[in-house]
Amino acid sequence: MTQQMALEGGPSLERIARGEGLALCASGSWTARFAPALERLVNEAEKIGETKPNVFIDVSGISRLDTFGAWLIERLRRNLGQDGAEARIAGLSTDYASLVDEVRQVGDDGPAPRRRGSLRAPIERLGRTMYAFVDDIVALISMMGAVLAGLGRIVIRPTSFRLTSTVHHLEQVCWNAVPIILLITFLIGCIVAQQGIFHFRKFGADVFVVDMLGVLVLRELGVLLVAIMVAGRSGSAYTAELGSMKMREEIDALRTMGFDPIDVLIVPRLIALVLAVPILTFLGAMAALYGGGLVAWLYGGVDPEAFLLRLRDAISIDHFTVGMIKAPVMAAVIGIVACVEGLAVQGSAESLGRHTTASVVKSIFFVIVMDGVFAIFFAGIGI
């Protein structure tokens, strides 16, 4: 069988001992046509190579090589190069060098990790997680600086501002989002009022639900709900759009034509988001108060006139101001996170889905963190 393959230009893998090392001399045709024979040769070489510390793979005698053969050579190199051993490929012709390099980049994650102690593995995972978190923070700061530079260029040259693009995105993230924002905030206001009345009634303090509803909606719940919904709706859309452009090399085409992607793609989206979220926050707060007032009237027996009088006494302009100050900051955070994740997409659908999911999760996380920071800050200054 071996002689027949040799006559047909079939593959061979000769093993030659060199001191403490081992030389593997490959020759013949390493193509998918001889797949069973190649698999057998490589498997045998991997077993023998376990006893040799260093391996030299000579491929100068290979006459034909395709992707299957290149992958087997690379697999042989990886498996023989474990546990401190060294495995090198030599004699590779220029015709096949690029093919082997491409195969080497596929799944080159190193040898499979060995089982480690119960303490080392969690610490390693924690370290990798912290490193990824720091890397995300650096990317966000870098994007923030690029956006500020883009805004500076607009201030210097107002004619470079893309008004049409900004209005288009404003329609997408604001006007088209109004129905779902009003519906969700209305229902949340109804639920908060119902639960408040149900528990306050035990103490004969039904009317205090107005105080709770007014302060909670204007300071915290209104802006937080709107920001989370915007992150899931518009933030994911931004990531998907930019990621698709990255996959189709449209962003590279913009750079080739002399346009800055930050000015063309990022700045209009961020400006639209910063304008839209305060508007949606105001509308959402009004819808939540309306829903709460409706439930207080129908379920709690609080007349609308009494509800409004109590609401006027319970809240002040400071509560409304706190919510409106939070809104544009949270919008900027959502937009920056979404754009960073969109530009990080690689050339696959899996990467697009992974970064879109990461965009929503990270946006919601940073929104909640910023809400906590604002709560501590406003409490510290007495608002």
Task: Judge if 302 and 367 occupy the same domain.
Answer: yes
CATH assignment at residue 52: 3.30.750.24
Average pLDDT score over residue span 258-286: 92
| Structural domain contains residue 180 | yes
Please tell me the least confidently modeled range out of 111-120, 260-269, 277-286, 349-358. Answer: 111-120
| Structural domain contains residue 132 | no
| Structural domain contains residue 294 | yes
Most confident of 110-114, 190-194, 197-201: 190-194
Give the confidence band of 118 by pLDDT, cuts at 50, 70, 90: low
Q: What is the pLDDT of residue 18?
A: 66
| Structural domain contains residue 131 | no
- Number of C-beta neighbours around residue 21 at 10 A: 16
- Cα end-to-end span (Å), the chain: 88
Task: Judge if 99 and 167 occupy the same domain.
Answer: no
Task: Judge if 359 and 248 occupy the same domain.
Answer: yes
In this predicted structure, the answer to whether residue 201 has a pLDDT above a threshold of 90 is no
In this predicted structure, the answer to whether residue 186 has a pLDDT above a threshold of 90 is yes
* Domain encompassing residue 281: 162-381
Q: Which residue has the higher pLDDT, 51 or 205?
A: 205
Average pLDDT score over residue span 248-252: 87
Task: Judge if 26 and 94 occupy the same domain.
Answer: yes
**Helix (H, G, I), strand (E, B), or coil: what is residue 24?**
strand
Name the domain count of the chain.
2
Q: What is the pLDDT of residue 280?
A: 94
Assess contact for 80 and 111: CB atoms under 8 A: no
| Structural domain contains residue 135 | no
Q: What is the pLDDT of residue 340?
A: 92
Task: Judge if 223 and 372 occupy the same domain.
Answer: yes
Average pLDDT score over residue span 238-244: 91
DSSP element (H, E) containing 328: helix 317-343
Pairing between β-strand 21-30 and β-strand 54-65 as defined by DSSP bridges: parallel
CA geometry: angle at 121 spanning 117 and 124, to 5°?
140
Task: Write down the mean pLDDT value for the chain.
Answer: 84
Complete DSSP assignment for 144-193: HHHHHHHHHHHHH-GGG--HHHHHHHHHHHTGGGHHHHHHHHHHHHHHHH
Task: Judge if 97 and 224 occupy the same domain.
Answer: no
pLDDT (tens digit per residue) in 317-367: 888 899 899 999 999 999 999 999 998 888 778 888 889 999 999 999 999
Task: Judge if 193 and 311 occupy the same domain.
Answer: yes
Please tell me the least confidently modeled range out of 19-28, 76-85, 110-119, 279-288. Answer: 110-119
Please tell me the least confidently modeled range out of 69-73, 235-239, 293-297. Answer: 69-73
Domain boundary residue among 64, 81, 105?
Answer: 105
**Helix (H, G, I), strand (E, B), or coil: what is residue 242?**
helix
Domain boundary residue among 68, 83, 105?
Answer: 105
| Structural domain contains residue 257 | yes
User: Torsions phi, psi of 124, nearest 5?
Assistant: -65, -45
Assess contact for 216 and 196: CB atoms under 8 A: no
Task: Judge if 96 and 22 occupy the same domain.
Answer: yes
Average pLDDT score over residue span 12-16: 79
46: which residues sit within 8 A by CB, 6+ positions away?
A: 76, 79, 80
What type of residue is 340? V
Task: Judge if 40 and 187 occupy the same domain.
Answer: no
| Structural domain contains residue 142 | no
Task: Judge if 270 and 367 occupy the same domain.
Answer: yes
Domain boundary residue among 105, 128, 145?
Answer: 105
CA geometry: angle at 239 spanning 366 and 270, to 5°?
70
| Structural domain contains residue 265 | yes
In this predicted structure, the answer to whether residue 112 has a pLDDT above a threshold of 50 is no
Task: Judge if 57 and 172 occupy the same domain.
Answer: no
Task: Judge if 97 and 191 occupy the same domain.
Answer: no
pLDDT (tens digit per residue) in 24-76: 888 888 888 888 888 888 888 777 655 556 777 888 788 888 888 888 888 87
How far apart CA 266 and CA 245 sit, in angstroms, is: 12
pLDDT (tens digit per residue) in 142-185: 989 999 998 999 899 988 888 999 999 999 999 999 999 999 99
